[in-house]
Amino acid sequence: MAGIRGKNTRPELFIRRGLHAAGFRYRLHDRSLPGCPDLVFPGRKAAILVHGCFWHGHDCSLFRWPASRREFWEAKIMRNRERDIEVEASLLHSGWRVMTIWECALKGRGKLDADTVICRTANWLRSNEQTGEIRGETHAGR
């Protein structure tokens, strides 16, 4: 687990490159904000969280419970979910807008077109919506 990154992951780098190319400027991992959001847009009072589906227990095709050490993983992932709720509530309470982009939007069988993800994110940043979420498409049989 020591080799698992919490910052500068591939999905995060993809979002950063796409938004920068679209003309958006941001701060990275602002430790003064709850949860240290991945991208922060102070002028727009917006924060973007890029979540890995496994680590945050997302209900998608990329998430599977590990077969070994079940109790450890359940406790860890459930605490991550609880923390996600706390962080979003704290950011909203502080007057920030919050968008969550899930890893499944960028990879796996339900991934969205790359331009679609960047366009949806840019549209949310330009809007006044308080929250937003981008996730992969769901498939029958899941």
Q: Tens digits of per-residue pLDDT, 61-103?
A: 888 999 999 999 999 999 999 999 999 999 999 999 999 999 9
Q: With a threshold of 0.85, does the pTM exceed it?
A: yes
pLDDT tens, position by position, 10-64: 899 999 999 999 999 999 999 999 999 999 999 999 999 999 999 999 999 888 9
CB atoms inside a 10 Å sphere around CB 31: 8
The C-alpha atoms of residue 13 and residue 104 are separated, in whole angstroms, by 15
CA distances from 85 to 23, 25, 88, 116, 117 (A): 30, 26, 5, 26, 23
pLDDT at 5 (0 to 100): 57
Q: Which residues contact 48 (CB under 8 A, 6 or more apart)?
A: 15, 26, 37, 38, 39, 40, 41, 98, 99, 100, 101, 121
Distance CA 40, CA 42 (A): 6
pLDDT at 6: 63
pLDDT of residue 27: 97
CATH architecture under which domain 10-134 falls? 3-Layer(aba) Sandwich (3.40)
Under 8 Å between Cβ of 134 and 107: no
Phi, psi of 116 (to 5 degrees): -65, -45
pLDDT value of residue 142: 44
Give the pLDDT of residue 138.
Answer: 72
pLDDT the model gives residue 4: 53
Question: Is pLDDT at 124 greater than 90 in this prediction?
Answer: yes
Residue 140 has pLDDT above 50, yes or no: no
**Tokens 């549209």, located at residue:** 123
